[in-house]
Amino acid sequence: MLIGLVGKPSSGKSTFFKAATLAEVEIASYPFTTIKPNHGVGYAKIDCIEREFGVKCQPNHGFCIKGNRFVPVELMDVAGLVPGASEGKGLGNHFLDDLRQADVFIHIVDASGTTDEEGKPAMNHDPSKDILFLENELNRWFYNIMAKAWKSFVRKTEQDEENFAEAVAKQFSGLKVNEGHVKKVLSMLRLPEKPSNWNEDQLFWFASELRTESKPTIIAANKVDLEKAYANYQFLKMRFPGLIIIPCSADSELALREAAKKGLTDYIPGERGFEITGEVNDEQREALSDIKEAVLDKFKEGTGVQEILNYAVFNFLNYIAVFPVDNANKLTDSKGRILPDCFFLPPGSTALDFAYHLHTDFGNNFIRAIDARTKKILGKNYELKHRDVLEIVTK
Ligand SMILES: Nc1nc2c(ncn2[C@@H]2O[C@H](COP(=O)(O)OP(=O)(O)OP(=O)(O)O)[C@@H](O)[C@H]2O)c(=O)[nH]1
Ligand SMILES: [Mg+2]
Rounded distance from Cα 162 to ligand 2 centre (Å): 43
d(C-alpha 79, C-alpha 95), whole Å:
7
Query: Percentage of residues in the chain with pLDDT exceeding 90?
Result: 96
Residue nearest to atom 21 of ligand 1 (CA): 10
Residue 21 has pLDDT above 90, yes or no: yes
Confidence at 11, pLDDT banded by 50, 70, 90 = very high
At 167-208, the pLDDT tens digits run 999 999 999 999 999 999 999 999 999 999 999 999 999 999
Q: What is the mean pLDDT of residues 347-371?
A: 98
Query: What pLDDT score was predicted for residue 80?
Result: 95
Position 95 pLDDT exceeds 90: no
Q: HSE on the CB side for 259, CA within 13 Å? A: 28
How much distance in Å is there from the Cα of 30 to the middle of ligand 2? 9
- 101 C-alpha vs ligand 2 centroid, how far in Å? 20
Question: What distances in angstroms separate CA 197 from CA 151, 244, 324, one per listed residue?
Answer: 11, 35, 50
CA of 164 to the centre of ligand 1 (A): 43
pLDDT of 48: 97
Q: What is the pLDDT of residue 103?
A: 96
Determine phi and psi for 175, rounding to 5 degrees.
-95, 10
| 76: Cβ contacts below 8 Å, ≥ 6 apart | 2, 3, 4, 5, 37, 38, 39, 40, 98, 99, 102
Q: What is the pTM of this model?
A: 0.96
Closest ligand 1 atom to residue 7 Cα is: 19
Q: What tens digit of pLDDT does each residue of 101-160 get?
A: 999 999 999 999 999 999 999 999 999 999 999 999 999 999 999 999 999 999 999 999
Q: pLDDT at position 5, please?
A: 98
* Res. 96 pLDDT band, cuts 50 70 90: confident
Q: What angle do CA 203, 208, 213 make, to 5 degrees?
A: 125
* Mean pLDDT score, 250-261: 98
Q: What is the pLDDT of residues 324-355, one digit of tens each?
A: 999 999 999 999 999 999 999 999 999 999 99
Give the pLDDT confidence score for residue 292 in this predicted structure: 97
The pair phi, psi for residue 75, each rounded to 5°, is: -125, 150
Which ligand is closest in space to the CA of residue 7? 1
115 lines ligand 1 (CB under 6 A): no
Q: How far is CA 129 from CA 111, 232, 353, in A?
A: 11, 12, 43
Strands (E), 50-103: 63-65, 68-77
Q: What is the mean pLDDT of residues 234-241?
A: 98
Q: Which ligand ends up closest to the CA of 11?
A: 1
For the chain, strand residue ranges (E) read: 2-6, 38-47, 63-65, 68-77, 104-110, 217-222, 244-247, 320-325, 343-345, 366-371, 377-378, 388-394
Sign of CA dihedral 39, 44, 49, 52: positive
Nearest C-alpha to atom 8 of ligand 1 is from which residue? Answer: 12
DSSP string, 181-235: HHHHHHHHH---SSGGG--HHHHHHHHHHHHHHHS-EEEEEE-TTSTTHHHHHHH
Q: Is the dihedral of CA 275, 279, 284, 285 positive or negative?
A: positive
Residue 285: CB atoms within 10 Å: 12
Give the contacts of 44 (CB within 8 A, at least 6 positions apart): 70, 71, 73, 309, 310, 312, 313, 314, 319, 321, 344
Residue 378 DSSP label: E
Look up residue 312 and give its DSSP letter: I
**pLDDT (mean) for 94-99:** 85
Q: Which pLDDT tens digit goes with each residue over 36-52?
A: 999 999 999 999 999 99
Q: How far apart are CA 303 and CA 321, in angstroms?
A: 24
Q: What share of the chain is helix, strand, coil (3-state, %, to 5)?
A: 40, 20, 40
Q: Kindly report, residue by residue over 276-316, the tens digit of the pLDDT.
A: 999 999 999 999 999 999 999 999 999 999 999 999 999 99
Mean pLDDT of 318-325: 97
Cβ 348 vs Cβ 378: under 8 Å = no
C-alpha span between 326 and 337 (Å, rounded): 10
Confirm if 359 and 343 have CB atoms less than 8 A apart.
Answer: no
Cβ–Cβ < 8 Å for 105, 215:
yes
Look at the alpha carbons of 98, 100, 106, 107 in this order and tell me if their dihedral is positive or negative.
positive
